[in-house]
Structure 1
Amino acid sequence: MPTTTPGRRAPRRLPAAAAGAVLAVAAVTAPARAAAGEVREYPVTTVAGAAPAGLTTGPDGALWFAEHGAGRIGRMTADGAVTDFPTSGPDTGPAEIVTGPDRALWFTETAAGRIGRITATGRLTEYPVPTAGSAPGGIALGPDRALWFTEAAGNRIGRVTAAGAITEYPLPTPDASPHSIAAGGDGALWFTELRAGKVGRITTAGRITEFPLPGGGFPAGIAAGPDGMWLTASGTRSVDRIDYTGHVTRFGLPGPDSLPSGIARGPDGRIWYADGAGRIGRFGATGAVTTFPVPDGGAKVPLRLTAGPGGAVWFTELLGNALGRVRVPGR
């Protein structure tokens, strides 16, 4: 049975923290660097060690984010004002968050093995994932108006309805460690398999196809673009594009220290990514990359990002205990 708790405040502590695909390598263009002033940061003022992770823009126009280190869900307005709501405990490990079909915010609790739902007023409901120790991570709204999520330790893709009914689909590859998931333009859900080095596709009927990532790498974040799915691959310091037939194009990133993680389509229609080495990157129409440095960003670990208020791209700083904003060029 789900548990329901009203929003409240309390101190928190930081817990220990495709087959036959063809690879095409894109030319790497020297990046254009934007001024550091293009980035503005907003601290999470409600709790130290919040470790902001997943991020989305809610139906109310505010930013909602998962406080992985504090067991809370945060809300930030465009001017940086923060309100947060606790989950059922400090060590639940909220990871990713998305707006559901019911205008509530849905999120994964990696440590607790649950899917959470919270309303704009802070009313919380949590649904246990049937597979014990499943470690749910990524979550996305599907074309069937259900929420789909990855189970990193359970090696499954899960589906939860707005009423809380959960169905699980085991992956063909053992120990694949499914990571992130996103709805594609082909009516299916696409996900990354971090340990297996594959990209998966699951239909709303539960049929799974897997595409090995040529050239290796550890696929992590994934998002729909105008021409297929885009994903980050940390082991190869690249961002890859896979079309709906399984053809992969790899785009190398500037800098020998690149650690790409989150990826999203910005308000300008371009693909943006978060680089844990301390910058935010943007792909132009020709594939050229522009980087936006985050002040002292290597110590802050930019992690996830989304199109947000003010026509900007917003991102979380996992260790910086802040959210950041990048003004989109030309806006």
Structure 2
Amino acid sequence: MSVTEITVAGPNDGPYGVAVAGGEVWTTLVHTGRLATASGRVFDLEAPMSRPSVVVAGPDDAVWFTRSGDHRVGRLGYDGTLSAIDVAGSPYGLCVGPDGALWCTLMDADAIARVTVDGSVTTYPIGVAGAFPAMITSFAGDLWFTLNQANAIGRMTLEGVVTTYPLPTESAGPVGICAGADAIWFVEILAGQAGRITAEGKIEEFPLPVDSKPHAVAPVAGGGCWITLWATGALVRLDASGNIVEEHALGKDSEPHGLALGLDGSVWVALENGALAQKA
């Protein structure tokens, strides 16, 4: 299947996160404080140092996104209305929880924040100093997140009770995470591996191409996942057993980061060279 690219920004603007929502494909321009769509719309946050990062489809006809540069969580309605909520601690990873609220990791605070659509913020410490929580997802009624510097996967109940699961590989540097059909997939950017953890805490690890620096991960229906390989400029698909069954080159210096799945089964990837890649 072919991969096509749509230029949405300049080569230094840095498309980073990507989400499919409201009939559009949205991406954050992390280096210039803007959001853009595959259809050509651009939204200026009027905060060039805000570093919009992870973006998700919200529960309220909007996309929500983290602004790690100015400690806020932003909202962009499908009608173009912009707003933001103060959330101290450098919010980064973001997901919609099983309770319908937005949940985000706070990199500098070693905490997880719950943000409601009406602007209420509650912060829960994870209890691990210097853990650098990164991406977050919802699975089995709880929140699951990578602890990049603590070399572990974290799990938090809606009441804020945390369990951590150390990774078998030392200094693996987990970053991306997503909920699959029956388990959670994650990637280890420093170890060059993918991982899978069940609701019972069983962890498996799978090798990826050497020095590929996997970054983001998204589930495949029926098992397996898609993974962006930041250092080698590629997109790979793993089957349910962790075997690489597809690989697509995205070009030299493309620097793929976030990825998202379309309702039609297509895969969208944010490329830091200024484009969105689509694998039909």
Shorter-chain TM-score: which interval?
A: 0.7 to 0.9
Aligned counterparts of 1:35 and 1:73: Cα–Cα separation in 2: 26
Identical amino acids, percent of aligned pairs: 37
1:149 aligns with 2:150: no
Q: Which residue of 2 aligns with 1:252?
A: 248
Letter matched to residue 191 of structure 1: F
Q: CA 1:229–1:254 in 2, change beyond 3 Å: closer, same or farther?
A: closer
TM-score, reference length from structure 2: 0.85
> Retained in 1: the 8 A contact 2:232–2:252?
no
CA distance in 2, matches of 1:33, 1:190: 26
1:240 is aligned to 2:236: yes
Unmatched 5+ residue regions in structure 1?
Answer: 1-27, 285-331
Tell me the distance in 2 between the aligned counterparts of 1:277 and 1:33: 11
Q: CA deviation at 1:40?
A: 1.6
Distance of 1:57 and 1:121 partners within structure 2 = 16
Q: CA 1:230–1:193 in 2, change beyond 3 Å: closer, same or farther?
A: same
* Paired amino acid for 1:44: L
The normalised TM-score by structure 1 is: 0.72
Q: Show the counterpart of 1:173.
A: 169
| Distance in structure 2 (CA, Å) of the matches to 1:174 and 1:35 | 38
- 2:202 corresponding residue in structure 1: 207
CA contact (8 A) 1:43 1:80 kept: no
The answer to whether structure 1 residue 81 and structure 2 residue 68 are counterparts is no
CA RMSD of aligned residues (A): 1.8
Deviation digits for residues 79-107 of structure 1 (CA, Å, limit 9, x no counterpart): 221111101x3xx1111111111111000
Matched residue, 2:216: 221
2:117 and 2:214 map into 1 onto residues whose CA distance is 33
- Alignment match, 2:95: 98
> Are the aligned partners of 2:74 and 2:82 in contact in 1 as well (CA < 8 Å)?
yes
Supply the distance in 2 between the matched residues of 1:219 and 1:138 (Cα, whole angstroms).
13
Larger Rg: 1
CA distance in 1, matches of 2:91, 2:7: 33
Q: Following the alignment from structure 1 to structure 2, what is the Cα–Cα distance between the partners of residues 237 and 119?
A: 36
1:162 aligns to 2:163 (yes or no): no
**Counterpart-to-counterpart distance in 2, 1:260 and 1:35:** 14
Q: Distance in 2 between matches of 1:63 and 1:38?
A: 16
- Contact persistence 2:7–2:274 (CA under 8 A): no
Structure 1 counterpart of 2:106? 109
Q: Aligned equivalents of 2:229 and 2:115: distance in 1?
A: 31
- Kept after mapping to 1: 8 A contact 2:196/2:203: yes
CA offset digits 1:293-319 (Å, max 9, x no partner): xxxxxxxxxxxxxxxxxxxxxxxxxxx
Does residue 65 of structure 2 align to residue 65 of structure 1? yes
Offset, 1:211? 0.6
Residues 224 and 264 in structure 1, CA contact (< 8 A), matched pair in contact too: no
Aligned to 1:279: 275
Cα 1:34/1:122, change in 2 over 3 Å: closer
The whole-number CA distance in structure 1 between the counterparts of 2:211 and 2:246 is: 11
Q: Following TM superposition, by how much is the alpha carbon of 1:250 offset from its aligned partner in structure 2, in angstroms?
A: 4.4
After TM superposition, the runs of 4+ consecutive aligned structure 1 residues lying more than 6 A away are none
Cα 1:267–1:94 shift into 2, 3 Å: same
2 CA distance for matches of 1:123 and 1:166? 21
Higher strand share: 2
User: Is the 8 Å Cα contact of residues 222 and 263 (structure 1) preserved in structure 2?
Assistant: yes
Sort the Cα spacing of 1:268 and 1:119 in 2 relative to 1 into closer, same or farther, 3 A: same
In structure 2, the residue matched to 1:40 is: 41
**What is the CA distance between 1:267 and its match in structure 2?**
2.9
Q: Secondary structure at the match of 2:41?
A: strand
**Higher relative contact order, chain-length normalized (CA < 8 Å, sep 6+):** 1
Cα distance in 2, alignment partners of residues 274 and 73 from structure 1? 20
Aligned to 1:118: 115
Q: Distance in 1 between matches of 2:50 and 2:194?
A: 30
Contact 1:234–1:259 under 8 Å retained in 2: yes
Letter in 1 for 2:105: T
One-letter amino acid of the structure 2 residue matched with residue 205 of structure 1: E
Change (3 A) 1:254 1:214: closer
Shift of 1:215: 4.2
